[in-house]
Amino acid sequence: MNKLDFYSLTVELIIGFFAVLVVTNVLGKTQISQFTPFHFISALVLGELLGNAIYDREVSIKYVLYALFLWGGLLFLIEILTQKFKKTRNFFQGNPSILIRQGKIDYQELKKNRMDLNELLSLMRQKDIFSVREVEYAVLELSGSLSILKKSNYDQPDRQDLQIPEKPVFLPIALIMDREIIEDNLTNYGLDNQWLMDQLHMHGIRDVKDVLYAEWERNEGLLVIPFESGTDVKQ
């Protein structure tokens, strides 16, 4: 690379740096945790436009700057529209989805958001929620994060506030998911299929295919969510 190439690269980097700085400042400051899929893709496109200016010698910086500011202008226009006209928010931003409502899993909302029970349980654990029985409402936000409202029995005040003696804490385990028995979990905890079927019979369920999700926790028993309704919770 000769001195001219270094000079051109330096000029393009400086121009690109300040161009991106202007665009991002105009669009406003959004935390990474608040990014919607659209914001994420837009950020990738902005980076790609700048990358073209730096690495593609056949692309002039003026064309990249034009594309950069045009893209930024479109993003800014959408921000203005969603601020001034509420009806446009559903189209451009989407809506949060209630995945658990009054303690009941909405299976249709899971499918609508292309999620499975494993993903839902993973998001719950990230919120220090290890059992569905603790949740009154769970809302999937536009950013993909999960907001949870606990049931009153599991919310504050805690046992320490009430000076109640400490009790052992056990980790709930999923035994049935998407109408299939998780054999490894049964084996790891010394349980078997006959024990599980006996438990299901006590809940009025005769076939595993009728169960969307079931978890077992020592001292709490079996939590069963039937598949047909997709929501009813029995304990």
User: 158 lies in which domain range?
Assistant: 97-226
On whether both 29 and 102 belong to a single domain, the answer is no
Contact at 8 Å (CB) between 92 and 82? yes
> How many folded domains does the chain comprise?
2
Of 92, 110, 127, the residue that ends a domain is 92
Assigned domain for 221 exists: yes
Contact at 8 Å (CB) between 49 and 67? yes
Contact at 8 Å (CB) between 171 and 215? no
Q: Looking at residues 190-204, what average pLDDT do you find?
A: 92
If one compares 200 and 144, the residue with the highest pLDDT of the two is 200
CA distance 92 to 110: 21
On whether both 111 and 51 belong to a single domain, the answer is no
On whether both 194 and 207 belong to a single domain, the answer is yes
Provide the H-helix boundaries in 35-152: 37-55, 61-84, 87-92, 107-112, 117-126
DSSP state of 157: S
The reported pLDDT for the residue numbered 230 is 41
72 burial (CB, 10 Å; 0-12 / 13-18 / 19+) is buried
- Contacts of 42-50 with CB under 8 Å at 24 or more apart are 42/71, 42/75, 45/71, 46/20, 46/71, 46/72, 50/16, 50/19, 50/20
Q: Looking at residues 68-78, what average pLDDT do you find?
A: 77
Assigned domain for 235 exists: no
Assigned domain for 232 exists: no
On whether both 178 and 200 belong to a single domain, the answer is yes
Number of H-type helices and E-type strands within the chain: 8, 8
The reported pLDDT for the residue numbered 200 is 93
Region at 145 (left for phi over 0; alpha for psi -120 to 50; beta for the rest): beta
Instruction: Choose the weakest-confidence range: 55-69, 124-138, 145-159, 192-206.
Output: 55-69
Whether 196 has a pLDDT exceeding 90, the answer reads yes
On whether both 184 and 118 belong to a single domain, the answer is yes
CA distance 157 to 141: 26
Q: Looking at residues 58-85, what average pLDDT do you find?
A: 74
In the structure, what pLDDT confidence band is assigned to residue 231 with cuts at 50, 70 and 90? very low
Whether 234 has a pLDDT exceeding 90, the answer reads no
On whether both 148 and 209 belong to a single domain, the answer is yes
On whether both 85 and 19 belong to a single domain, the answer is yes
CATH of the domain at 163: 3.30.240.20
On whether both 138 and 218 belong to a single domain, the answer is yes
Of 92, 123, 156, the residue that ends a domain is 92
On whether both 107 and 168 belong to a single domain, the answer is yes
The reported pLDDT for the residue numbered 73 is 79
The reported pLDDT for the residue numbered 124 is 92
Assigned domain for 33 exists: yes
If one compares 178 and 38, the residue with the highest pLDDT of the two is 178
On whether both 50 and 125 belong to a single domain, the answer is no
Three-class SS of residue 197?
helix
Of 92, 111, 136, the residue that ends a domain is 92
**Which pTM does this prediction carry?**
0.57
